[in-house]
Amino acid sequence: MAEILHGIFIGPLRDMAASPAFLIEVLLGGLFTGLMYSLVALGFVLIFKASGVFNFAQGVMVLFAALTLVGLMERGMPVAVALILTMAVMVALAFVIERVVLRPLVNQEAIILFMATIGLNFFLEGFGELLWGANVKKLDVGIPDRSFVVAGVQINQLEMSAAATAAVLVAVLAVFFQRTRIGRALRAVADDHEAALSIGIPLKTIWLIVWSVAGLVAIVAGIMWGAKSGVQFSLSLVALKALPVLILGGFTSVPGAIVGGLIVGVGEKLGEVYWGPLVGGAIENWFAYVVALVFLLFRPQGLFGERIIERV
Amino acid sequence: MSRPSAGPLLEVDNVSVRFGALLALSGVSLSIQPKEILAIIGPNGAGKTTLLNVISGFYHPYEGRILFEGRDRTRLSPPDVAELGVARTFQNVALFKGMTVLDNLMTGRLLKMGGHFLLDAVWWGPAKRQELANRAFVERLIDFLEIQAIRKTLAGKLPYGLQKRVELGRALAAEPKLLLLDEPMAGMNVEEKEDMSRFILDVNGEFGTTIALIEHDMGVVMDISDRVAVLDYGRKIADGPPEQVRKDSAVLDAYLGASHG
One domain, residues B20 and B79: yes
Closest CB to A182: pick one of B98, B103, B117.
Answer: B117
Indicate whether B135 belongs to any domain.
Answer: yes
Interface of A with B in 181-200 (CB under 8 A): 181-182, 184-185, 187-188, 190-192, 194-200
One domain, residues B155 and B193: no
Indicate whether A36 belongs to any domain.
Answer: no
Determine, for residues B117 and A181 on separate chains, whether the beta-carbon distance falls below 8 Å: yes
Q: Is A205 on the interface with B (CB under 8 A)?
A: yes
Q: What is the largest CA-CA distance in chain B?
A: 71
Q: Is A201 on the interface with B (CB under 8 A)?
A: yes
- Average pLDDT over chain A reads 82
Q: Is the pLDDT higher at A150 or at A217? A: A217
Query: What pLDDT does residue B118 have?
Result: 55
In which region does residue A39 sit, left (phi positive, over 0), alpha (psi from -120 to 50) or beta (all else)?
A: alpha
One domain, residues B156 and B196: no
Residues of B within 8 A of A191 (CB-CB) are 96-99
Indicate whether B94 belongs to any domain.
Answer: no
CB atoms within 10 A of CB B23: 16
One domain, residues B57 and B160: no
Cα separation, B211 vs B24, whole angstroms? 23
Residue A23 C-alpha from the chain's centroid: 25
Q: Is A3 on the interface with B (CB under 8 A)?
A: no
pLDDT-derived band of residue B124, with 50, 70 and 90 as boundaries? low
ipTM: 0.84
pLDDT-derived band of residue A15, with 50, 70 and 90 as boundaries? confident
In which region does residue A155 sit, left (phi positive, over 0), alpha (psi from -120 to 50) or beta (all else)?
A: beta
Indicate whether A82 belongs to any domain.
Answer: yes
Treating both helix axes as pointing N-terminal to C-terminal, what angle do A157-179 and A254-270 enclose, rounded to 10 degrees?
Answer: 160
Indicate whether A261 belongs to any domain.
Answer: no
> Are residues A214 and A61 in contact, defined by beta-carbon separation less than 8 angstroms?
yes
Query: What pLDDT does residue B120 have?
Result: 57
Nearest CA in chain A to B55: A198
Q: Which of A13-22, A221-230, B87-96 is predicted most confidently?
A: B87-96
- Average pLDDT over chain B reads 87
Closest CB to B96: pick one of A191, A200, A205.
Answer: A191
Question: Does the pLDDT of residue A257 top 50, yes or no?
Answer: yes
One domain, residues B260 and B217: yes
One domain, residues B122 and B198: no
> Are residues A269 and A284 in contact, defined by beta-carbon separation less than 8 angstroms?
yes
Instruction: Please give the average per-residue pLDDT across A212-228, as a whole number.
Output: 86
Instruction: Please give the average per-residue pLDDT across B222-234, as a whole number.
Output: 91
Instruction: Please give the average per-residue pLDDT across A121-133, as a whole number.
Output: 87
Cα separation, B43 vs B50, whole angstroms? 13
Query: What pLDDT does residue B141 have?
Result: 92
Query: What pLDDT does residue A116 have?
Result: 92
Question: Does the pLDDT of residue B1 top 70, yes or no?
Answer: no
Question: Does the pLDDT of residue B65 top 60, yes or no?
Answer: yes
H or E element, residue B107: helix B101-108
pLDDT digits (tens, 9 = 90+) for B86-115: 999 998 888 998 889 998 999 898 877 765
One domain, residues B232 and B161: no
pLDDT-derived band of residue B119, with 50, 70 and 90 as boundaries? low
Indicate whether A144 belongs to any domain.
Answer: yes
One domain, residues B189 and B250: yes
Indicate whether B48 belongs to any domain.
Answer: yes
Question: Does the pLDDT of residue A26 top 70, yes or no?
Answer: yes
Nearest CA in chain B to A202: B79
Which of A193, A202, A103, A189 is CA-nearest to residue B82? A202
Residues of B within 8 A of A91 (CB-CB) are none
> Are residues A214 and A94 in contact, defined by beta-carbon separation less than 8 angstroms?
yes
Closest CB to A199: pick one of B77, B97, B110.
Answer: B110
Cα separation, B137 vs A296, whole angstroms? 45
CATH of residue B260:
3.40.50.300
pLDDT digits (tens, 9 = 90+) for B2-50: 444 568 999 999 999 998 888 899 999 999 999 999 999 988 888 999 9
Q: Could you list the residue range(s) of the whole structural domain that residue A80 is in?
A: 47-243
One domain, residues B162 and B201: no
Partners of B101 in the beta sheet? none
Nearest CA in chain B to A306: B98
Cα separation, A169 vs A178, whole angstroms? 14
> Are residues B145 and B196 in contact, defined by beta-carbon separation less than 8 angstroms?
no
Please give, rounded to a whole number of angstroms, the shortest distance from the CA of A193 to a CA of chain B.
9
Question: Does the pLDDT of residue A311 top 90, yes or no?
Answer: no
pLDDT digits (tens, 9 = 90+) for A235-253: 777 778 888 888 888 777 7
Indicate whether A233 belongs to any domain.
Answer: yes
Question: Does the pLDDT of residue B217 top 80, yes or no?
Answer: yes
Instruction: Report how many domains make up chain A.
Output: 1
One domain, residues B220 and B254: yes
Q: Could you list the residue range(s) of the whole structural domain that residue B152 is in?
A: 100-175
Please give, rounded to a whole number of angstroms, the shortest distance from the CA of A174 to a CA of chain B.
11
Query: What pLDDT does residue B117 have?
Result: 55
Indicate whether A289 belongs to any domain.
Answer: no
Instruction: Report how many domains make up chain B.
Output: 2
One domain, residues B23 and B151: no
Which of B212, B187, B236 is CA-nearest to residue B42? B236
Flag the least confident range among A21-30, B144-153, B196-205. Answer: A21-30
Q: Is the pLDDT higher at A161 or at A85? A: A85
Determine, for residues A199 and B82 on separate chains, whether the beta-carbon distance falls below 8 Å: yes
Query: What pLDDT does residue B2 have?
Result: 43
Indicate whether A182 belongs to any domain.
Answer: yes
Indicate whether B185 belongs to any domain.
Answer: yes
Instruction: Please give the average per-residue pLDDT across B107-132, as a whole number.
Output: 68
pLDDT digits (tens, 9 = 90+) for A38-63: 888 888 888 887 777 888 888 889 88
Alpha-helix runs per DSSP H in B174-228: 190-207, 218-224
Indicate whether A141 belongs to any domain.
Answer: yes
SS in 3 state form for B228-261?
EEEEECCEEEEEECHHHHHHCHHHHHHHHCCCCC
